[in-house]
Amino acid sequence: MPQIYFLCTGNSCRSQMAEGFAKTILGSEWQIASAGVETHGLNPKAVAVMAEKQIDISQNQSKLVDPEYLQNCDIVVTLCGDARDRCPVVPTRVKKIHWPLPDPATATGSDEEVMAVFRQVRDEIEQRILTLNQKCEYGA
């Protein structure tokens, strides 16, 4: 079973949304997890925007990178430069992908403006996972 890991700094927003989409899009044929190089807790705004897509991540936990899981991955996706730069070394057989997405947790403005940033990042993650799924289906 192929294994994928989504990593960001605090495992609170981007990687959690990626895990939620991957479980929905890639399905049970994949082993899917997310983690952070730190733990910042699950961001309630990430939970809210994922619920708008009928994906429930409300029971997810903010987790640190598990070295054993990381070593057994087929694909590791970093969603920010910090995670890319601080990610532990992985075997050369592991495909590393970097998606440099803005951190929605740092968005400022009205609640509506902040939620718009969360939605933009969420939608970008969804599109990237759909593309990743197509590439995996065709062996690319």
The Cα–Cα gap between 45 and 28 comes to 26
| CA 75/CA 63 separation, integer angstroms | 18
Kindly report, residue by residue over 4-53, the tens digit of the pLDDT.
999 998 999 999 999 999 999 999 999 999 999 899 999 999 999 999 99
pLDDT at 88 over 90: no
Q: Is 87 an active-site residue?
A: yes
Token readout for 126 is 């969804």
Terminal Cα distance for the chain, rounded? 17
Determine whether 13 is an active site residue.
no
Which of 12-26, 56-70, 71-85 has the weakest average pLDDT? 71-85
Catalytic residue among 13, 73, 87, 136: 87
Given a contact cutoff of 8 angstroms between Cβ atoms, the answer to whether 10 and 40 are in contact is yes
The torsion angles phi and psi of 31, rounded to 5 degrees, stand at -95, 120
pTM of the model: 0.93
pLDDT band at 137 (very low <50, low <70, confident <90, very high): low
Q: Which ranges of 26-110 would DSSP assign to H, the alpha helix?
A: 44-51, 67-71, 81-86
Amino acid letter at 98?
H
Residue 92 has pLDDT above 90, yes or no: no
When pLDDT is cut at 50, 70 and 90, the band that residue 86 belongs to is confident
pLDDT of residue 140: 45
